[in-house]
Structure formats: C-alpha cells, structure tokens
Structure 1
Amino acid sequence: MEFVIITGMSGAGKSQAINVLEDINFYCMDNLPPMLLPNFFELCKASTKKVDKVAVVVDIRGGVFFNDLFTSLNVLSQNGIKYSILYLEASDEELVKRYKELRRPHPLSPTRRIIDGIKEERNFLKEVKQKSNYIIDTTGLKLAKLKEEIQGIFVKGKTTHNMTITVMSFGYKYGIPYDSDLVFDVRFLPNPYYIEELKQLTGNDKEVQDYVMKYEISKNFLEKLIDMLEFLLPNYIREGKSNIVIAIGCTGGRHRSITIANRIAKHFGNENYRISLTHRDEKNNV
C-alpha cells in the first residue's frame, strides 16, 4: 500500500495537495493526530474495501500531538511499513500575504504578529523537512502547476528520477537561501540592469533572456554548469539523496539569476527529474 504523509508550513497549500491526491484515487484524511498514523495504516490495510493508496495531512493544527510524529514514523519503519513524506513550504512573504488575504491568525501566534508564528513554525519543522522525500515550494505557484507537480510525483507510468530538484533564483543583497545545497554565483555575467529598457523587466522576459544569453561567457557557463550537474545528480541519488536545492544568485535576483535558473529547470525537467522552480526575489524593488 502506498502511504503518503503530507506536512509542511501552515498556509503552504496542504489542503490543495490532498485534494489533488484524492482526485487521483488516494484515500485521504486531513489533520490526523500523528500518534494515530500506525493505527490508521493498519485500519486501511485491514479494510474490506481494497485501499492501496492512502494520504494523510499532519500539521501544526495537531498542537502538542505533532511532537509524536517522529515516534510514529519510527513505529512505521520498525514494522516494515514504507511511507513517503510530501513537504509543502512557501516564503515568509508569501505566507504573510496569504494569511492577510484570509484575515486569519497563524495557529502559533493567535495574539502576535503573523510573521512570528511563521518563523517559529519554520524552525519547529526543519527536522521534518530534512526527512521529507518530496519538497514543493508553492511561492507564486498556481493551483494548476501544483497539481502538475504532485501528479508528476505520484501518478505512475511516467519514468522519473528519484529526486526532486528545487531550482531557486535569488539576490545576494537579500541573503543566500538558508536551505541551499548548491549555490552558484552568476554576478560575473553581463548585467541587464544597466540597460535602461531592460531594468524594469526580469529574467522571465524574453528581452532579458536574449541579452544575457547572447554573450559567449553566458553560454559557456550554462554548458559547464549543466555538465557538472549531470555528473553530480546521479551520484547524489546513488547516495540516497532525494531532494536538492540549487540556488542561482545575482545581485538583485531579478535578471541574470532568473535567466539561468529557468534554463537549468527546463533542461533537467526534460531529463525527467521532478522540478520545483521558484524565483525568490523576483518581486523585490529594482
């Protein structure tokens, strides 16, 4: 039986994720107390109605019960029960925006600032994230794209590598992403920022892409970077790594880094890796 545990940041899209899994014939349970995971698995297994795909959401709403998660995961492992963890996250800014739009307090900070609860929760969940099999960053992600990513992971029949690659562009002026595994500095590439008609655009615009990639130094760098990653990724998989965050940084995170990140994501997506692409600082002011 396929057993999927969905967890992650509050407001990151876990409810949408479980709806997607329900649409592809998973039996789903939302907000299950972690201590009940082993019993719930056994109930599904013993059901007279055949249940071969199960997904449950475990999150901070479980309160103190969330501390039982690792105990339950150990019980599952000791009993030879295979499971996978799908972890959903989003940037602090995105989560604050979502909470404000819904006019709801964060479950960890009902009487404090929303950002305080987000930071506390992110710290609380960091060990869970490290143990996750799949990580999806939903920052700026439309529901259709989230559905596509989840189906790419769990719909059988499509051959994929057993690794999720998060490709993230960022600006050094705002700090290096704390969860990066590989960081590449592209500040040596020609900078569209100094071209007046390109300054307000981003690496998602064709004009910026054409400008960056018309230079031999950009083409050579991209080719060498892809060659190196094609060597590294299979070796990471061989060592059991199932998630990797590749961070591409330029000064502001809006032009060169986005251009290169898009090409890296496209290349390895075509190689049947599971790809999560996010542009952390795209909306920051020029």
Structure 2
Amino acid sequence: MLHIDIHSFSYKKGGIPKDESGNGGGFTFDCRGILNPGRIEEYKSQTGNDIGVQEFLETQTEMPKFLELVKSIVSINIDNYIERGFENLQISFGCTGGQHRSVYCAIKIADFIREKYSGSTEISLHHDEQHQLNISNKQ
C-alpha cells in the first residue's frame, strides 16, 4: 500500500515541509500564482475548507485548471509507485499564509486520490498552519 502524506503550508511561516519518510522529497506545488481570497474582506478569517472560499477559488480564479494539471502530474507517479511497490509519497501545497489556497488544494487532491486510488493508497492530510483542520485525517 502506498502511503501519501499531503501537506498545506505557508511559505512565509514554516516553509516547505520536510519529508519524514526518508525519501527526501516528493511534489511541492506553489499556489501563490492563484488569486488570494485572503485579500478579500469576507474571506480573511476563513480557510480553504470553507464553502465561500472554495466557491471563490472555483469560479473566480484559475484554480480548477491548476488542480487538473496537478492531478495529471501526481497520477503519473502514483500509478508508477503502486506498480513498483513504493511505500511513500509526499505532496505539498504552499501559499503565502497556509490558510486559503494551499488548504483548498490539499483537501481537493486528497479527495481525488481517495476516489481514484481507493484500496491501494493510504492518505495522511496535514494542514501545517491550520491545525484545527487536522482531525482524524487518515484514510
């Protein structure tokens, strides 16, 4: 079974998460090229887990296109890793504060992998800046 650690993080606060598996890497995607909902008053206190922020990212930004490309890239490796019997992969999403865009991406990629690779992957989802979202994320 392939274990996939997915992180959302802040480039400003903690930086790119260290790969604890010993493999030394994985994918790191920079979400800062997507319009930041945190600059809009009604979304400032919300996270990428909130419906309003999600709807904004899905309808007012290039996020859907960005995520489709990410899905294509990570699928190539996941397919290969499963076929070769690899045990670990890390996928990280960073944005300025680790609150909106990176959280959204981490959640959506975890959902995508759970659906596409059910039975052959185990996912741990870590929101490095939004600890309140880290409740029982293993699946």
What TM-score, normalized to structure 2?
Answer: 0.82
Q: Which residue is 2:112 aligned to?
A: 267
Q: Does 1:184 align with 2:29?
A: yes
Q: Does 1:172 align with 2:29?
A: no
Which whole-Å CA distance do the structure 1 matches of 2:103 and 2:93 have between them?
8
- Of the three residues 223, 237, 240, the one matched with 2:82 is 237
Quick check: which one's helix share is greater? 1
- Of the three residues 66, 79, 85, the one matched with 1:221 is 66
**How do 1:86-235 residues align onto structure 2 when only pairs under 5 Å count?**
162-173=1-12, 174-179=14-19, 180-215=25-60, 217-235=62-80
Q: Does 1:279 align with 2:133?
A: no
Cα drift, residue 281 of structure 1: 0.8
Larger RCO: 1 or 2 (CA < 8 Å, sep 6+):
2
- 1:244-279: CA deviation from partner (whole Å, max 9, x where unpaired): 110111111010000111000001111213211111
Secondary structure of residue in 1 paired with 2:125: strand
Secondary structure of residue in 2 paired with 1:246: strand
Cα drift, residue 241 of structure 1: 1.5
Q: Does 1:252 align with 2:97?
A: yes
Contact 2:6-2:92 at 8 Å conserved across structures: yes
Secondary structure of residue in 2 paired with 1:197: helix
Note the residue ranges of structure 2 that are not aligned, 5 or more in a row: 20-24, 133-139
Which whole-Å CA distance do the structure 1 matches of 2:16 and 2:93 have between them?
9
**How do 1:33-48 residues align onto structure 2 when only pairs under 5 Å count?**
none
How large is the RMSD of aligned CA atoms in angstroms? 1.6
Higher CA-based Rg:
1
- Check 1:283–1:274 CA distance in 2 against 1; reply closer, same or farther (3 A cut): closer
Contact 2:35-2:61 at 8 Å conserved across structures: no
Partner amino acid, structure 2, of 1:269: R
Cα drift, residue 190 of structure 1: 1.0
Which whole-Å CA distance do the structure 2 matches of 1:176 and 1:269 have between them?
23
Cα drift, residue 238 of structure 1: 2.9
Q: State how many pairs are aligned.
A: 123
Contact 2:2-2:85 at 8 Å conserved across structures: no
Secondary structure of residue in 2 paired with 1:244: strand
- Percent sequence identity over matched residues? 39
Secondary structure of residue in 2 paired with 1:189: coil
Q: Which residue is 1:77 aligned to?
A: none
Partner amino acid, structure 1, of 2:129: D
Q: Which residue is 1:144 aligned to?
A: none
Which whole-Å CA distance do the structure 2 matches of 1:178 and 1:264 have between them?
19
